Amino acid sequence: MSDDYSEVLSKGGYYETSKIVYRVSGEVKRLLEGTTSNFMDKGTNAFLDRFGKLIVIFEQKIFEKEAYIVFESGFEGRFLSHIDKYAKLSRCTLEKTSLKAFHVIGNFETTEIKISQRFGFLVLSKSAPKLKKMAKETYDCIRIENGISVQGKDFDDEMFLNVNWNDAVSYSKGCFVGQEVMSRVRAYGKPVKKLVAIAYGAMPPSVTSNGMEIGKITSSCLSQRFGKYLAFSIIPFGTTKIDNGEIVKI
């Protein structure tokens, strides 16, 4: 992986994600502003239930009369089931597109739709960028090093505050589904669990603290940046001692 990793970081590259792209047409701002956790000019957003639990986390690109919503393919049914009633009330139409979502690293000019990521950006296109196609192992390492967890892999329908996607919510936005519960937990309590990155000298089968298992390892890689193994796990909030490892900020 070392040569591929170094080449991608120095010259750029892309990875074809498993995300699908929906186009929403009509009064899209009316539809999304009241049902999602973030502002329309942000790149990441989420649908929550009334208990503050995740339904779908997604990337977005909003125009005046249409929006592109990008999310992991395994959550298509959940997305449609949740948004359908709101779309009808807002007189919006939903269309699954043939666009693919490519995660691009490095400088790359394109006329296609771009959505900023924590590292690099998504390009929505029918064809791959004219860049190096990175290996999955390389891509996983880059995304884990940059705190990019994936719904369906690293988390599912967790309480939103349990995951590491604070850039998908605005606490100043006002009313949205799940907002009351999240604001109450944030103001008066703490989330029960938290998705964290842990660095290890040798990868264990699970995350333990004082000899007791406290979490499952989801994504992992041998990190070039840290010179150690790096893993995502959801563990009890406030845990500080990890057997043979340490929580790191990424």
C-alpha distances out from residue 104 to 51, 107, 115, 171, 250, Å: 35, 9, 10, 30, 19
C-alpha count within 13 angstroms, C-beta hemisphere, residue 21: 23
Q: For all residues of the chain together, what is the average pLDDT?
A: 95
**70 & 142 share domain:** yes
Residue 1 pLDDT greater than 80, yes or no = no
Let me know: does 176 contact 36? Beta carbons within 8 Å: yes
Residue 13 pLDDT greater than 90, yes or no = yes
**101 & 49 share domain:** yes
Percent above pLDDT 90 for the chain:
88
Euclidean distance between CA atoms 229 and 209, whole angstroms = 17
Q: Which of 136, 15, 124 is nearest to 61 (CA)?
A: 124
Q: What is the pLDDT of residues 106-124, one digit of tens each?
A: 999 999 999 999 999 999 9
pLDDT of residue 79: 98
Structure tokens at 134: 């990175």
> Comparing 13-22, 110-119, 182-191, which segment has the lowest mean pLDDT?
182-191
Query: What is the domain extent for residue 241?
Result: 192-248
Q: What is the pLDDT of residues 120-156, one digit of tens each?
A: 999 999 999 999 999 999 999 999 999 999 999 999 9
Read out DSSP for 38-57? S-TTSSEEEEE-TTSBEEEE
Q: What is the pLDDT of residues 48-72, one digit of tens each?
A: 999 999 999 999 999 999 999 999 9
Residue type present at position 215: G
Give the count of domains, the chain: 2
Return the CATH number at 229. Answer: 2.40.30.110
pLDDT of residue 224: 93
Reported pTM: 0.95
pLDDT of residue 195: 98
**68 & 136 share domain:** yes
Residue 173 counted as domain residue: no
Euclidean distance between CA atoms 130 and 120, whole angstroms = 15
What is the pairing mode between strands 54-62 and 93-96?
A: unpaired
